Amino acid sequence: MTAVIEDKVIEVTGLTKRFGSVTAVDDATFSVERNKIYGLLGRNGAGKTTLMQLLTGQDFATSGSIQVFGQSPVENASVLQRVSFIKESQRYPDDFRAKHVFKSAPWFFSNWDEDFAQQLIADFRLPLNRRIKKMSRGQVSAIGVIVGLASRAPLTFFDEPYLGLDAVARQTFYDRLLADYAEHPRTVVLSTHLIDEVSNLLEHVLVIDEGRIIINEDAESLRGSATNLVGTAAAVDAFVGPREVLHRDAIGGLVSVTVLGLTAGERKDASAAGLELAPVSLQQLIIRRTNTSEKEFEVSA
């Protein structure tokens, strides 16, 4: 037997979490590969945070199995010491100042890089001596972002880490994440609804909608997988034929449809038929696909 390199950092099978009558995570099955940046995308209340709480052992599954580094994460120190989870609304003790957070973080993360943390503190202009209670929402978020980056945990979760961060600070976060990831590859799961901002950073995309994983695909194959076609109703319908239409809009005699997977030849045909072709961004595509599944739900319910 040769040594097996553990390529799957997370393996989830049939995972379900119910809160009373609400099913927050619904029969989710997926895996997360080592040293990739994942986007966990979805609308508010789709189940992103619940899923991450389950993956980090902070909540118990109703059914199904979770393996993180090959083991259950629940109450498992050998797993959890390799995991950093930056929450959207992290609470700190009342009298804590930012410096107290950075003093205690290295106790939990063996890969903690103090120089990197100091550099990030300067980048985000974080006042170390201010009480966290007195800080702005964006400054509190910056603390989380810095801890998440400087901890360099083999598996890092960022759950909407930038509430209140301005555009400049968010760009700083993306740039530092990318640069540090390139030098110190690790697995990152980034949950967000600012899809357009992060889409180029992602290698793989998981989309969750009403607790279900509805997209689990390579970011590059998702990108450009859909096209918008605009033209007269007759021309559009003639071209579309039996193709699956993700979305349809009409204004006057004009119709706009979103379709998947056009070949180069088909694009040429569409253009020759007088249709205007426009790209569909990852964000638009996900909006289209999550709407579709809602309709499917209504039909099946």
Nearest distance from C-beta of residue 251 to another protein, angstroms: 20
**91 DSSP assignment:** -
When the beta carbons of 102 and 181 are compared against another protein, the nearer one is: 181
When the beta carbons of 167 and 182 are compared against another protein, the nearer one is: 182
When the beta carbons of 14 and 274 are compared against another protein, the nearer one is: 274
Tell me the sheet residues that pair with 278.
Answer: 228
Angle between helices 137-150 and 167-183 (to 10 degrees): 0
When the beta carbons of 10 and 98 are compared against another protein, the nearer one is: 10
Q: Which residues, including other chains, have CB under 8 Å from residue 34's CB and lie 6 or more apart?
A: 6, 7, 8, 9, 187
For residue 117, the Cα-to-chain-centroid distance in whole angstroms is 24
When the beta carbons of 215 and 280 are compared against another protein, the nearer one is: 280
**13 DSSP assignment:** E
Q: Residue 29 belongs to what H/E stretch? A: strand 22-33
Nearest distance from C-beta of residue 120 to another protein, angstroms: 16
Tell me the sheet residues that pair with 158.
Answer: 86, 190
Tell me the sheet residues that pair with 216.
Answer: 206
Strand ranges, E, within 198-251: 204-209, 212-218, 226-232, 245-251
Residue pair 151/102 in contact by the 8 Å Cβ criterion? no
The residues of the shown chain that bind another protein, judged by CB under 8 A, are: 36-37, 174-175, 178-179, 181-183, 199-203, 219-221, 223-224, 268, 271-272, 274, 278-282
Nearest distance from C-beta of residue 143 to another protein, angstroms: 24
When the beta carbons of 67 and 256 are compared against another protein, the nearer one is: 256
